[in-house]
Amino acid sequence: MKIINPILKGFNPDPSIVRVGDVYYIATSTFEWWPGVQIHQSEDLMNWKLVTHPLSEKRLLDMTGNPDSGGVWAPDLSWHDGHFYLIYTDVKVTDGSFKDCINYLITAENIMGPWSDPVELNAAGFDASLFHDEDGRKYLVNQYWDPRSFHHPFYGIMCTEYSEVEKKLIGEPWVLYKGTEEKFTEGPHLYKMHGYYYLFVAQGGTVYAHQERVARAKSLKDVFETQPGGPFLTTIDVPFHPIQKAGHGSLVNTPEGEWYFAHLMGRPLHHENESAVDPRGWCPLGRETAIQKVIWDEDKWPHIVGGHMGMKEVEAPRGAKEHKWEKSCSVKDDFDSVELNINFQSLRIPLPENILSLRDRPGHLRLYGRQSLASTFTQAHIARRWQSFQFDAEIKMDYRPRNIQQWAGLTCYYNTQNWSCIQMAWHEKYGRVIDVASTDLGKTFSVYKEEPVPVPASANYVYFRVEVRGIFYQYLYSFDNENWTRVPHRFDSARLSDEYIKAVYDAAFTGAFVGMVSVDGLGTRIPADFDYFIYREL
């Protein structure tokens, strides 16, 4: 049996993996998407199911006004003495010399909660994790941010003791490790085995130069020695490998004593006229999660089986019995439940019943119009990840706009500065119309330069579809669900990728989403009713 990478498709970066008995869990970053932290579960390392978002209450996370790609960075999930420990960072500033990132700790006896009130730890840097030492002491390790001019901002890895009794950090922090010349030292995870403390860190930046390094010491106060022979994991030197951006991960052992390393990766697309090497490619699915098998040499240094680039197909654990899950989301969601499917998320905040309702019109998801897709505060916007390069998404919508400030429809969204939407809007001449708008690096335009498409007065519903076909995607509309019209514009999927946005903005760490939105600039909050949502991979 084989593990096929990526194991978590679509935007699921910075994996923190832990085993409790015979069950594995992976926590991944969610950035500005609510609720915070995705946790997947597996019994065989091959098949994974999204089971919970632990940061589902405002007492645990409030991202109101957080910038694009702010919010929850690199959560750390651990298990000790019958409790789960979850460390997470809420980043309030992304561009410039400061991060203003707050690290929190919550605990629970069950992965499904309830979770304790958060303990605020520090704001010294992001990517924090908790190490449980054999003597019962606990230590927080985190990226150490340096805001000073003429200094590299990634100072190293900070270590601070944590008192569980006092529920706070104690003593003076110290620098555990400063990394190698690749710099950008982050994503620390600390382990103790073979008589050493092993520190796994990401370096090189979470781009195509990404890598994972390993260092070790006999004591936490000793100098950590870097593993000789180059990075433990990297794909910087293999541009044609199916796995790219490899780095930033964590270690887990199996009941049989084997070792595996979960790490982030990317799968780039290219335009026909581009080199596959420069630019290296575009990853609209964002940074995903893979797993590699690990072996230890006679000097007790770890190595990736198959070489430092990792493999797409990885040997499954000995004795593993394959456990396949039912899909967590059906192809067609008719919104017959009173609870939103776990694969849908909103931006920054939970949406209360006066914004999102599955009860006000049974069999429909109702979104009461709020702010535009450019807002970092209150969007009536529900979406799910792109998880394939080839898929169709479709909605059936009943909407009655009466003003140019009102519109609703189907979105493909990266952040407030990069998105597109096929929408029903209102026009002074025609009344209800179909329009297609796009924002590219903050500049908004309409596909229909002359006049939009009128909606027949007899159409109670309109149908919108997006066909994603690799590096391009295209919208369609219908008034009867039989005769479809293709919008005369192909959108570039690359423009919903980290790589494209990073050319202008420092922070771009998420991925493309597809979903439903309702906007009402008048404040009258008229509803858009969605009868179904289809997501069908091809």
- Which run of H or E residues covers position 120? strand 119-122
Give the span between the Cα atoms of 71 and 36, in whole angstroms. Answer: 8
> Does the predicted TM-score (pTM) go above 0.75?
yes
Average pLDDT value for residue range 207-221: 97
Q: Per-residue pLDDT for 327 more than 90?
A: no
Q: Is 446 found in the same domain as 400?
A: yes
Q: Which residues pair with 231 in a beta bridge?
A: none
Of residues 277 and 243, more confidence is placed in: 243
Q: Is 360 found in the same domain as 508?
A: yes
Give the span between the Cα atoms of 538 and 536, in whole angstroms. Answer: 6
Q: Is 336 found in the same domain as 308?
A: no
Would you place residue 251 in the very low, low, confident or very high pLDDT band (cuts 50, 70, 90)? very high
CATH of the domain at 176: 2.115.10.20
In tens, the pLDDT along 412-427 reads: 999 999 999 999 999 9
* Nearest by Cα to 127 from 157, 100, 164, 89: 89
* Nearest by Cα to 63 from 325, 341, 350, 255: 350
Q: Is residue 326 part of a domain?
A: no
Q: Is residue 405 part of a domain?
A: yes
Instruction: Write down the pLDDT at residue 276.
Output: 83
Q: Which of 280, 315, 350 is the last residue of a domain?
A: 315
- β-pairing, 168-177 vs 154-163, is antiparallel
Q: Per-residue pLDDT for 451 more than 90?
A: no
Q: Which residues of 312-323 are buried (b: 16+ CB within 10 A; e: fewer)?
A: bebebbeebeee
Q: Which residues pair with 251 in a beta bridge?
A: 261
Instruction: Write down the pLDDT at residue 432.
Output: 98
Please state the domain count of the chain.
Answer: 2
E-state strands within 230-317: 233-234, 244-253, 259-266, 288-296, 302-304, 313-315
Q: Per-residue pLDDT for 227 more than 90?
A: yes
Average pLDDT value for residue range 116-134: 98
C-alpha distances out from residue 88 to 73, 78, 122, 418, Å: 7, 12, 11, 26
Average pLDDT value for residue range 258-279: 95
Would you place residue 506 in the very low, low, confident or very high pLDDT band (cuts 50, 70, 90)? confident
Q: Is 165 found in the same domain as 90?
A: yes
The dihedrals phi and psi of 288, each to the nearest 5 degrees, come to -110, -175
Of 57-61, 190-194, 410-414, 502-506, the poorest mean pLDDT is in 502-506
Give the span between the Cα atoms of 185 and 187, in whole angstroms. Answer: 7
The rounded radius of gyration (Å) of the Cα atoms in the chain is 24
Give the span between the Cα atoms of 141 and 189, in whole angstroms. Answer: 7
Instruction: Write down the pLDDT at residue 79.
Output: 98
In the chain, what percentage of residues exceed pLDDT 70? 100
Q: Per-residue pLDDT for 329 more than 90?
A: no
CATH of the domain at 441: 2.60.120.200
In tens, the pLDDT along 72-107 reads: 999 999 999 999 999 999 999 998 899 899 999 999
Q: Is 106 found in the same domain as 219?
A: yes
The dihedrals phi and psi of 496, each to the nearest 5 degrees, come to -115, 35
* Contact criterion met (CB below 8 Å) for 223 and 230: no
* Contact criterion met (CB below 8 Å) for 418 and 440: yes
Would you place residue 505 in the very low, low, confident or very high pLDDT band (cuts 50, 70, 90)? confident
Q: Is 447 found in the same domain as 361?
A: yes
As a residue count, the chain comes to 538
* Contact criterion met (CB below 8 Å) for 4 and 46: yes
Q: Is 186 a catalytic residue?
A: yes
Of 43, 44, 186, 258, catalytic: 186
Q: Is 350 found in the same domain as 272?
A: no
Q: How far apart are the first and last CA of the chain?
A: 24
Q: Is 171 found in the same domain as 32?
A: yes
DSSP at 455: P
Give the span between the Cα atoms of 199 and 249, in whole angstroms. Answer: 11
Average pLDDT value for residue range 448-466: 94
Q: Is 288 a catalytic residue?
A: no
Q: Is residue 494 part of a domain?
A: yes
Q: Is 59 found in the same domain as 105?
A: yes
Q: Per-residue pLDDT for 337 more than 90?
A: yes
Would you place residue 503 in the very low, low, confident or very high pLDDT band (cuts 50, 70, 90)? confident
Would you place residue 524 in the very low, low, confident or very high pLDDT band (cuts 50, 70, 90)? very high
Q: Is 309 found in the same domain as 427?
A: no
Tokens for 166, please give them. 């006092």
Contacts of 67 (CB under 8 A, 6+ apart): 32, 92, 93, 94, 95, 376, 507
Q: Is residue 248 part of a domain?
A: yes
Longest Cα–Cα distance of the chain, Å, equals: 78
Q: Is residue 360 part of a domain?
A: yes
Q: Per-residue pLDDT for 269 more than 90?
A: yes
* Contact criterion met (CB below 8 Å) for 100 and 93: yes
Q: Is 436 found in the same domain as 304?
A: no
What range defines the domain where residue 97 resides? Answer: 2-315
Query: How much is the mean pLDDT over the chain?
Result: 97
Instruction: Write down the pLDDT at residue 58.
Output: 96
Q: Is 199 found in the same domain as 109?
A: yes
Instruction: Name residue, tokens 């995903």.
Output: 288
Q: Per-residue pLDDT for 192 more than 90?
A: yes
Instruction: Write down the pLDDT at residue 328.
Output: 87
Q: Which of 315, 344, 362 is the last residue of a domain?
A: 315
